[in-house]
Structure 1
Amino acid sequence: MSYPKQFGSLLEASSYQSPGGGAKYAPMRKKIVDTAVEMGYDAETMVEVGVVWADDHDPFQHIKNHQYPHWANTCNLRVFQSFEAHLKDKFKDLMAARHIGVMVKGFSLDLKAPVNFPDSIIVANRLAEVKPDRYKGVTSMWSLTQGRIVANMEGYVVFFDYDKGRPANLLEAGGVHADLYHALEARRAREEKRALDWEAKNPKKLRAKF
């Protein structure tokens, strides 16, 4: 079994699985997280998932295609959890799919590079569009050992009224639901500005590495 050349042994290369995440991975992790934030991704809802040799590979020793949406959804669940600060006592309803909750409408997946063990993946989300009844998210996945985005997932999440069986307009619902809409739109505007600033400063890096 091979491992990336920046490591001295397979044990060191898989140290992201150890408590603390491995000293050799610390600077790689910081560089990617800092870059992702500069690119407009949300720092608070990021996740890191380590590649598991026995579980994540397909017969060609690459990560299974269906693993990427699973990782993206792990991050997206943290996005939903961030709604608690705005929904307050209504948050439990959202997480239990009662009254007004969330529903994934659809997504597309763009695989940019193969990934295999050993490696660890940073998953981060940014908002691309916010409407009263839905938002579009971009969830990107970075390989720590490769130092680049290896997959992007884009899709819509709909706010759904489970009592009426149709999408819910947060502005019409009012109260804390309207507060959530305004918070998401403010977040989208901040993230879009950071993304545009980063792209203006790094056009070659955007094409070559991300």
Structure 2
Amino acid sequence: MERFIREYPIHTEISVAWGEMDALQHVNNVVYFRYFETARIDFFTQINLLADLQSTQVGPVISENTARYKRPVTFPDTLLVGVSISDIKQDRFMMHYSVYSQAQQAVTTLGSSQVVMFNFKTGKKAELKPALLDALKSHELADA
């Protein structure tokens, strides 16, 4: 777990709820997208991405989500969802999620989201601001 925390300095701790399990007695596949969302908003908050949303009307939207399930997760468990960044472009970037199970001491799920900056006033894509670009680059995957 220490290695995971070093690899993902921004990570979110999530407790698995009993109600997240399905009839097959493991966390339902759609729940992981909520875990990703929770980690994504936590990441955005920590890098101040959402701070200007009200005044600028520019913020992130998701154009694509993926998940790869490696191991089933069951209640009770506590997960760490690590976030990293790759493929930074003028108006978009890719977020990667790695879900680590404390009970299993292993990564159980991998995911990604294509994030596009969007101007809600104009209804068009927006460019990444320099401060955001710097923050994203500081969490960019080493081999990206």
1:97 to partner: Cα distance = 8.8
Give 1 or 2: higher helix fraction: 1
Distance 1:121 1:37, change over 3 A: closer
Instruction: Measure how far apart 1:92 and its partner are.
Output: 3.8
Q: Which residue of 2 aligns with 1:187?
A: 139
Specify the code of the residue in structure 1 equivalent to 2:11: M
Q: Secondary structure at the match of 1:131?
A: coil
What's 1:35 paired with? Answer: 3
With normalisation by structure 2, the TM-score equals 0.88
Percentage of identical aligned residues? 26
Of 127, 130, 138, the residue aligned with 2:85 is: 127
Q: 1:105 to 1:97 in 2, by over 3 A?
A: farther
What CA distance in whole angstroms lies between the structure 2 residues aligned with 1:150 and 1:97? 39
Gaps of 5+ in 1: 1-31, 171-176, 197-210
CA distance in 2, matches of 1:57, 1:186: 35
Shift of 1:100: 1.2
- The structure whose residues are more often strand, as a share, is 2
Number of residues of Structure 1 aligned to a counterpart in Structure 2: 144
CA shift for structure 1 position 50? 1.3
**Larger-gyration structure (1/2):** 1
Contact 1:132-1:181 within 8 A present in 2 as well:
no
Q: What one-letter code is carried by the residue in structure 2 that aligns with 1:103?
A: V
| Structural RMSD (CA) | 2.0
**Structure 1 runs, 4 residues or longer, greater than 3 Å off:** none
Query: What SS does the corresponding residue of 1:192 show, helix, strand or coil?
Result: coil
The alpha-carbon deviation at position 99 of structure 1 amounts to: 2.1
Q: CA deviation at 1:145?
A: 1.2
TM superposition score normalised by structure 1: 0.62
CA contact (8 A) 1:48 1:122 kept: yes
Paired residues of 1:63 and 1:115 also in contact (CA < 8 A): yes
